Amino acid sequence: MSGPILGIDFGTTNTAAAFFDRQGKLKLVPVSEKNFILPSVAWYHSADKAIVGLAARRQIIDDPRHTLFGTKRFLGRRYQSEFVQRHRERFAFNLMEGPDGYCAVKVYGRVVPLNEVAYFILRQVLTLATHTAGEPFTECVLTMPAHASIRQREAVRHAAERTGLKVRAIINEPTAAALYYANLRSPEQTVMVFDLGGGTFDATLMSVRNRVVKVMATGGDAFLGGANFDECIVEHLVEDFRQQHGVDLRGNKVVMQRLVFAAESLKIQLSRAEVADMRVPCIAQGPDGGFLDFQFRVTRKRLEEMTFRLIERAVSACDDVLERAGLKAAQVDELVLVGGQTRMPALRERLSHFRRFASEKDVHPELGVAVGAAILGRNLSRPGGTGLMDVVPMPLSVMLPGGATHEVIPANTPVPCRKAVSLAGLPPGTTPVPVLVFESLDTTSVEREILGTLQVGPEWRTGRGGPPRLELHMGQDFVLKAFLVAPDGRLFPAPIADARPQMRAPRTAAS
């Protein structure tokens, strides 16, 4: 009998893991006594050595330039992308462009690719899990936000493989939560998973039938998460501080990072209390030369006013998913809330138009995704299927020379799938013609994610039997493959080479 498969929820803010032991009992991986959450933070104490977790998180205040947190948001993203350029200045650590064009950080003069940061975190999770199980793990199931790009999934996969684990599957986080839910329910249910984590927001509508989860539609906001709530709090209070003391703190990245850390604590307190204090001592020097404390008393009502637009963004995206599926909130049997930000009372109140919330005993907000990954791992080790029917979260398209774009695989297409498009109109000649392959992010996002280019040789453009066709295959594990289709139907692999970092799809309507 093969060993257990480790389910890992590698999150922007926190990471958790779970597995089923050889007796079939669910085991959560403890980080410390009665704590199952590992902060996704790495503190480099030298150029190539780092500690992760709670001890690293404490260094955010003392050594912010070498303490890396929230890096999953940048993992697998090109440094020159609009998202990175808009957010890179918010962090005290030195985010920069790596040799491959993707995001990296510089620590002690060394350029560190972000998948190394992910590797350190996943390695610690594996060490803790091995200690808990009493035997080594060789395989795992990873979770990712539903709107994670293929490049982001690949980056996390490579980090896990570097620890020695074989990745059996990558599952969308809300789908993992629904698997957990389905494992507890036998009747037929229509479920909406509202997953607002640290870095992203996913809303996924699913049907649960005989403990099989079928995704009906998915949506969300790839750039909305708990971190945005923290930043919003800081922006408001920093402006109040400027008006009171005449000192603008926005230009000091180290100070701003300390404030974001304190804002997160404030936000958590206000989920339980009506009033909380935020105090960071000696934050700046005043006009008279003395040191100023950053000190505010904030009510829950004020917090709700500051973050009102973020809440509306999440609820609006949720309603869009319902509309695409042709359903109303009253037709959803249960709303499953996942992610620490869903503990915010105002958010739960705003979602009161749903009939019923699943209880935290059913799906724990912080641990439910890891348990769902463990359930998929258990199912993969058994004959008879996975109990899962997932969908493509973002449309996959191609761009031909001249700029014409064609959608090949629409969003919400069940996986695995294969779709073809005609490449009519390619220019003649004796040299290969590049065709750009990209994911078109959803309407709440700001850019297209270029996956790379494939080359169409002259023999495909001059042969008989009509214009060439391109077929894209998306597997259950979200691995994308491309093939050129011969007139007799034979498939020839067309490798998608990574595009140069500066190549960008122009923002034009798809033709």
Q: Mark whether 144 and 167 lie in a shared domain.
A: yes
pLDDT of residue 499: 53
Residues 25 and 166 both lie in one domain = yes
- pTM for the full predicted model: 0.86
The sign of the CA dihedral 170, 174, 179, 180 is positive
CATH number reported for the structural domain that contains residue 140 in this entry: 3.30.420.40
Nearest to 120 by CA among 43, 14, 200, 62: 43
Q: Does residue 339 lie in a domain region? A: no
Whether residue 330 lies inside any domain: the answer is no
* Same-domain check for residues 35 and 177: yes
In a domain, 215, yes or no: no
Q: For position 374, what pLDDT does the model report? A: 95
Determine the 3-state secondary structure of 357 from DSSP.
strand
119 plus 63 within the same structural domain: yes
Contact (Cβ atoms closer than 8 angstroms) between residue 340 and residue 226: yes
- 367 and 406: one domain? no
Residue 432 lies in a domain: yes
Instruction: Give residue 446's pLDDT.
Output: 44
The pLDDT score that the predictor gives to residue 385 is 64
Say what the pLDDT of residue 384 is.
66
pLDDT tens series, the chain, 511 aa: 578 999 999 999 999 999 999 999 999 999 998 899 999 999 999 998 999 999 999 898 889 899 999 999 999 988 988 888 888 888 889 999 999 899 999 999 999 999 999 999 999 999 999 999 999 999 999 999 988 888 899 999 999 999 999 999 999 899 898 888 887 765 688 999 999 988 889 999 999 887 788 888 888 887 899 999 999 999 999 999 999 999 999 988 889 888 988 999 999 999 999 999 999 998 888 877 788 999 999 999 999 999 999 999 999 999 999 998 899 999 999 999 998 899 999 999 999 999 888 877 677 888 999 999 999 999 888 876 667 778 888 889 998 888 788 899 998 888 889 999 998 878 877 888 899 898 875 433 445 678 889 898 888 877 667 788 999 999 877 889 999 998 888 899 998 887 543 333 333 333 2
Which amino acid is located at 252 in the chain? Answer: N
Q: Tally DSSP H helices, then E strands, for the chain.
A: 13, 27
**Do 438 and 483 lie in a common domain?**
yes
SS3 299: strand
Q: Tell me whether residue 203 is in a domain.
A: no
When divided into structural domains, the chain yields a total of 3
Shared domain for 154 and 179, answered yes or no, is yes
Give bridge partners of residue 52 from the DSSP assignment. Answer: 42
Statement to judge: residues 467 and 486 lie in one domain: yes
368 and 455 share a domain? no
Task: Give 2's DSSP letter.
Answer: P
Nearest alpha-carbon partner for 128 in 52, 241, 232: 52
CA–CA dist 51, 63 (Å, integer)? 13
Closest CA to 149 of 107, 193, 200, 195: 200
**C-beta of residue 141 within 8 angstroms of C-beta of residue 120:** no
The answer to whether the bond into 416 is cis (omega within 30° of 0) is yes
Cross-strand partners of 165: none
pLDDT of residue 505: 31
CA distance 200 to 206: 19
Residue 354 lies in a domain: no
User: Does residue 239 lie in a domain region?
Assistant: yes
Residue 201 lies in a domain: no
Q: What is the pLDDT at residue 329?
A: 93
Q: Is 212 in contact with 389 (CB distance < 8 Å)?
A: yes
Tell me: do 52 and 126 sit in the same domain. Answer: yes
The H or E element that residue 393 is part of is none
The domain that contains 240 carries what CATH number? 3.90.640.10
Q: What angle do CA 481, 484, 487 make, to 5 degrees?
A: 145
Residue 409 is part of which domain span? Answer: 396-493
- Domain boundary among the residues 389, 406, 438 is at 389
Helix ranges (DSSP H) in 134-252: 150-162, 173-184, 226-245
- Same-domain status, 95 and 48: yes
- Let me know whether 71 and 95 are in one domain: yes
